[in-house]
Structure 1
Amino acid sequence: MMRIAIAGRRPRRGAPLTAVGLMLCVTACSGLLDVDNPNSVPASEIHNPRSAAALLSGVHSSVSRAINAVTLVEATASDELDWVGSRDAWRALDAGNLSDPFNEFTDAAFPTLGQARWFADEAITVMNEHRAAGRLAPGNVDPVLYPRAYLYGALAYVTIADLFDRWAFSDVGAPAPAIAPANMRQVYDTAIVYLDRGIQYADSLNTAGSTAVRPWRLALYALRARAKHARAIWDMIGPVPDAPANITNGGLASDGGAVADAQAAIAQALATSSLGPDWKLTFAYSATTIGGDFGTWVNDRTEMRLGDAYVFGSASNKTWDSTRVLDPITAQRDPVLNTTATAFKAGSVYPTFTALSVREARLIVAEGALAAGDTTTFATQINTLRALNTLPAWNQATPQIRADSLLWYERQVNLYLQGRRLADMYRFGIRAAKWQLSSEAVTQPGRFLPITARECLSNPLIGGAACRI
């Protein structure tokens, strides 16, 4: 596979100081000294139209690796995974202590996201150059690559806003100050601007009859729905620790734009047979492409396993024997979680990662309806979701379970290991059994991950003394 090596080029503003080296490869590199590989492309060639597809392939790999790495840290801090190994840094996260910039695993995950964010922004710049030069056309630069660049950039920005209390958009040659927790909302704003631009172009391609753009157009709408929904959640818990969490309306997030985008995503999935009612955007990993941290640390090294809230542990306690979560209406083993957990285990070192889905879009519409007191729309969305697994409907007239409790439950099983759980636990008042009473997750609900040591120690505008907040 073609690799693009960026050598001797000063990165654009926004890359964490330690995130970008003198060489960056589109796909996994065997080593920084591997510069004579005939498949490597000089920095100047990144702007060559012939390199556009390889560039986007590399951004895809970089973003998928980063999201996998940082979500593993979040999942360990939530109730989705339990620490069962020997490494103290994983134990600290499992106990609910998230803000240590010297935690070795948070510190290892941080630069992967910094690289992915910078690389996606670089791809956006290159694709805009191609557009300005009139190169986006069949036979030259595939026009679908343009909205894809914005999708990957937005995925990186949304992940930063979701999982970090602070971030520094530095340049290798020019450090930037840290964004305070109370100002991290602007990172969602940037992601939404990217999605607006990607959607505008994808819509034009779709109107012109392009079928190739349709899955990417759907992904853009699904991600914009999620970004707006996540920003509404952030409004309740995001400013921590600068300000305490302010949970309103039982933790229900309401954003009309998120609902509209989610409805559009659902409609697109249903209208295209190749996508369908259970469409997902998933990242795949393998020995010949890139690996993911989930498979390495959970299935291979068994530092963590699926949490006790979800499974019955094995005799060795290093893995699990069966799932324990029961559907609240049937009182039988939940098929959604069972399918996800079984596939995760079967994936061994390379389980896939779900980034976006129609299921989440339906949950966003259902939550918006419930927040507005519209239980009819809530029931329609929840029951359509449940029908995907042939589960019986929730009865609006004589409910088997409270509507809000059902929403919490459906998010728990349908979004398992996708990076949503910790925020849901904070806003719905759910406490993990492993959290220590003195932990940040208990005493400061809303705490997420810090700027880590490798950034703050190399950034004179932050420095070691200000590493911790």
Structure 2
Amino acid sequence: MTRYRWLLVSLGVALGMGTLLGCEEGLFKVKNPGRILDEDLNTDRALNAVVVGMSADFSVVFDDIAFIVARLSDEMEASGSYFLSTRARHGIIDYRDTDAYWEGIQRARFVAEDGLRRMQKVLGDAFNGDPRVARAYLFAGLANRVLGENFCRVVFDGGPDQPKEAAFERAVQFFTEAINQAQQAGTDDILLAAYGGRAQAYMGLGDWSKAVADAQRVPTDFVYYAIYSDNSTREYNVIFLETHQRHEMSAYQTLAHRVAMERGSPDPRAPFTDCREGDCPNAQGADGSTPHLRQEKYADRGADIPVVKGTEMRLIEAEAALRNGDLATALAKINEVRTFYGLDPIDPATVSGIGDLRNADENDGWSILDRERHLTLWLEGRRLWDLHRWNHPFLEGGTIVYPGVNPRASCLPISQSECQTNPNIDQTQNCQPFAAGG
């Protein structure tokens, strides 16, 4: 039978089946079930999907924020050709560039917070102790923490702009509820993640005694991740895509590169391939000139990104010790981290003192802590926050390959979409083009 005759016979059979089945359920008739109504989510079974949606919305924006943080800070050189990459590598970003990041993290925050209100309504007396509730509180805390760490000012639900501390205060409240709920539900992973998240939020508020108290509860080997998958494009890890399938940022001449040259191989916390020597599609970045040193921390589209780690908790303890003038304790905590990653400990005899970040001595306590946080939290969306809160010297025109403006941006501004729709924010403070030196 020829292909043409086979198609005719197949079509005839299909039409016959359609007649037998009737018009409404024929082969070529699809019955639209309609949109899922809001009230349809008000069932116990639907809450599983509601909480998965909180996780998904957080992950969708978190890797995007980690990607812009890497290009805007000293983690990676923005070696690409995107318009934003060409600005970020000089340390430039303003309200016209941040719609996706602002809207994404606000969506993640609102979905978690509003989802909790729905869960209270649906579960009633069964609300307390439900493991889904603990997880929902955790995502509400994480979204607020990420908002506070990365944006210059924060806004909640159409209200006025506020200092970033307002987001950290909300994060503390949600993490505290996550802790209470996780204790009742017996979900140890949520419990430890919430303690770690609250330690991060207390650090943002400058409450170091409470930050240390929470950090001490988290073991060094603990990690809680934002989840990614190669199941669909929405679930892909964008850092992998932009370094393996494109060449939009490179480790060339960064701290990760310098440490690798000193050691003879990359630090295990900041692995990369030098594409001038490795098996890569292109040895140069998308800018056509910067050597492509491809990150390997996220080696596939489904690679998860840490949001809370025990190793960071040790570094929180180390920083608190430095702030109290206790160099010995700070080094001991730093060496716990280095030992965990299989690295040689730092010999206290080689450390010149506590020092400060504006000191040229790379062997003082603050410079060591700076390097250890940089490498331990590499490509996890945390570096810009450290630069901001420390008023780091890199902000003063710091350069990797491309020259930096002075001062470089240290946080993401409120977005253009918020500026255009919210009459309650200060337009003069928040909605202006970037001005170096301003």
Q: Same fold (TM over 0.5)?
A: yes
The question of whether the paired residues in 1 share the 8 Å contact of 2:317 and 2:333 is answered with yes
Match for residue 185 of structure 1 among 165, 172, 175: 165
Q: 1:286, CA displacement in angstroms?
A: 2.3
1:101 aligns with 2:95: yes
Q: Secondary structure at the match of 1:354?
A: strand
Aligned to 2:46: 51
TM-score if structure 1 supplies the norm length?
0.71
Give the Cα–Cα distance (whole angstroms) in 2 for the partners of residues 351 and 91 of structure 1. 26
Q: Say whether residues 1:429 and 2:421 are aligned partners.
A: no
Which moved further from structure 2: 420-429 or 77-86? 420-429
CA contact (8 A) 1:359 1:414 kept: yes
| Aligned residue number for residue 176 of structure 1 | 159
Secondary structure of the residue that 2:348 maps to in structure 1? Answer: coil
Alignment CA distance shift 1:283-1:76 (3 Å): same
Report the residue type matching 1:282 in the other structure. Y
Aligned partner of 1:382 in structure 2 is: 334
Work out the number of aligned pairs and report it: 366
| 1: CA distance, partners of 2:258 / 2:331 | 25
Structure 2 equivalent of residue 419 of structure 1 = 381
Whether the 8 Å contact between 1:219 and 1:356 is mirrored in structure 2 is yes
Equivalent of residue 325 in structure 1, options 259, 262, 272: 259
1:371–1:263: structure 2 CA closer, same or farther, 3 Å change rule?
same
CA contact (8 A) 1:76 1:82 kept: yes
1:197 aligns with 2:180: no
Spell out the pairing of 1:317-356 with structure 2 (5 A cutoff). 323-326=257-260, 333-338=266-271, 343-344=296-297, 346-347=299-300, 349-356=301-308
Which residue pairs with 2:432 in the alignment? 468
d(CA) in 2 for partners of 1:35, 1:392: 65
Residues 344 and 352 in structure 1, CA contact (< 8 A), matched pair in contact too: no
CA distance in structure 2 between the partners assigned to 1:63 and 1:222 by the alignment:
17
| 1:453-464 equivalent positions in 2, closer than 5 A | 453-462=416-425
Shift of 1:423: 2.8
Deviation of 1:86 after TM superposition, in Å, equals 2.0
Structure 1: distance between partners of 2:31 and 2:417:
26
2:254 is paired with a residue whose SS is: coil
- Equivalent of residue 318 in structure 2, options 366, 369, 373: 366
Match of residue 236 from structure 2: 291
Q: Give the secondary structure class of the aligned counterpart of 1:335.
A: coil
Pairing of 1:135-154 with structure 2 (within 5 A):
135-136=126-127, 143-154=130-141
Q: Is the 8 A contact 2:154 2:166 kept in 1?
A: no
Q: 1:129 and 2:121 equivalent?
A: yes
> Match for residue 188 of structure 2?
214
Distance 1:263 1:464 in 2: 42
| Rg (Cα) greater in structure | 2
Match of 1:161 among 142, 148, 167: 148
TM-score by length of 2: 0.75
Contact kept in structure 2, 1:327 and 1:334, CA below 8 Å: no
The percent of aligned pairs where both chains have the same amino acid is 25
Write the distance in 1 (CA, Å) between the matches of 2:329 and 2:74: 30
The CA deviation string for residues 281-327 of structure 1, in whole angstroms up to 9 with x for no partner, is 1223223252233233333232223353146xxxxxxxxxxx44249
1:81 to 61, 68, 76: 76
One-letter amino acid of the structure 1 residue matched with residue 91 of structure 2 = G
- Write 1 or 2 for the structure with the bigger share of helix: 2
SS class of match (2:421) = coil
For 1:369 and 1:229, the matched residues in 2 are separated by 13
How many angstroms does 1:146 deviate by?
Answer: 1.1
The change in CA–CA distance for 1:196 and 1:35 in structure 2 (over 3 A counts) is: farther
* Higher mean C-alpha displacement, 455-464 vs 156-165: 455-464
Q: Secondary structure, in 3 states, of the residue corresponding to 1:134?
A: helix
CA distance, structure 1, for counterparts of residue 387 and residue 102 of structure 2: 23
SS of 1:281's equivalent in the other structure is strand
**Which residue identity is paired with 2:135?**
R
Q: 1:296 to 1:437 in 2, by over 3 A?
A: closer
**How far apart, CA to CA, are the structure 1 residues paired with 2:81 and 2:295?**
25
- Contact persistence 1:63–1:113 (CA under 8 A): yes
CA distance change for structure 1 residues 404 and 176 in 2, over 3 Å: closer, same or farther? closer
Q: Structure 1's 331 and 372: CA in aligned 2 closer, same or farther, altered over 3 A?
A: farther
Report if aligned partners of 1:285, 1:291 keep a CA contact under 8 Å in 2: yes
Once residues 270 and 405 of structure 2 are traced to their aligned partners in structure 1, the CA distance between those partners, rounded to angstroms, is: 31
Q: Point out where structure 2 has 5 or more consecutive residues left out of the alignment.
A: 1-29, 274-293, 353-362, 434-438
Is residue 223 from structure 1 mapped to residue 223 from structure 2 by the alignment?
A: no
What 5-or-longer segments of structure 1 have no aligned partner?
1-33, 233-253, 267-276, 312-322
Matched residue type, 1:63? F
Pairing 1:210-289 to 2, within 5 Å after superposition: 210=186, 213-232=187-206, 255-266=208-219, 277-289=220-232
